[in-house]
Structures are given as structure tokens and as C-alpha cells.
Amino acid sequence: MTVHVQGKLRGCIGVVETSEPLRSSIAHCASGAALRDPRFPPVSEEELGALQVELSLLSRPAPLLVSEIEIGRHGLIVSKDGRRGLLLPQVAVEHKLSREQFLAETCRKAGLSGDAWRTDDVAILGFTCVVISESEELRREE
């Protein structure tokens, strides 16, 4: 779940695998993104009118060769030694990242060096996702 306030990122919290029903996961991730992302202060009551919510439903992650990564189609999970970083497909598009930059940023999110993806002991998984978001027209009609 990703939340923006006036177009600026204010939180992003999610789960890759869960045993709870989808509706429960959505509720937990939404409240986490708005209130408990450690990178941002909690969304305030005054900001609620400008809040935009985006839900990304991920496919099952699967091993992916670097040459198979398609910017805008694949999200990435990079893991090594218990560290894991995940970036959604839209991140690469929004920030105009190349394949190598996308891999480097996913490694950094995992707390690894930006070139860790080049080593044999790093697992690279890819996924696709369906994105559900509020449109500006919907927001204006409310």
C-alpha cells in the first residue's frame, strides 16, 4: 500500500506473503503506510483531504535473470544473508531508472551495496502487479 499527500510519497508498507485474508492485509498495510512508515511522520487529520491511496497486488515472485527484467513490467526483490529489498515496477518508471539502476536501488533498499546484484550469492526475484489507485476525477467527484 502506498500513500501520497499532494502527490508526495508519505508511506509505503506491504507484505509479500501472508496467511491472513486479503481484506485484512489491505487494512493492516493501509494503516501502516499512513501511520507507521518509519521514514515519514504519520499522516495528520488535516492531510486526509489530500490523501491518495495506491494498492499494488503482487504476483508470486519467481527467479528472474537480469536480461529478463522489463522496466515498467517487473518489480524486483533482491535478497542476501537475510536482507531483502523490494521495489515495485512503477518505481523504475517514475524515477526513469535503467535496468542496472533499478537493480542497484533495490540492493540499497536491502541494505546491500548498489552492485551486490552482480554477485552469485544474491537472489533476484521478479514479479508483476496490478495497481489500483484513486484517480483525480474520482477524488473531485467525492
Residue found by looking up cell 499512513 in the block = 34
User: What range defines the domain where residue 109 resides?
Assistant: 62-129
- Pairing type for strands 123-127 and 75-80 reads antiparallel
Which DSSP helix (H) or strand (E) runs through 101?
helix 99-109
Residue found by looking up cell 504519520 in the block = 42
Q: What is the mean pLDDT of residues 3-16?
A: 91
Q: What is the mean pLDDT of residues 48-55?
A: 92
Answer yes or no: do 76 and 119 share one domain. Answer: yes
Answer yes or no: do 23 and 71 share one domain. Answer: no
Domain's final residue, options 58, 85, 105: 58
Answer yes or no: do 67 and 124 share one domain. Answer: yes
pLDDT for residue 18 is more than 90: no
Answer yes or no: do 70 and 90 share one domain. Answer: yes
Which DSSP helix (H) or strand (E) runs through 62?
strand 62-63
Answer yes or no: do 104 and 74 share one domain. Answer: yes
The model carries a pTM of: 0.83
Answer yes or no: do 98 and 122 share one domain. Answer: yes
pLDDT for residue 129 is more than 50: yes
**Residues paired with residue 57 on neighbouring β-strands, in sequence order:** 130
In a domain, 111, yes or no: yes
pLDDT for residue 134 is more than 80: no
In a domain, 136, yes or no: no
Answer yes or no: do 78 and 26 share one domain. Answer: no
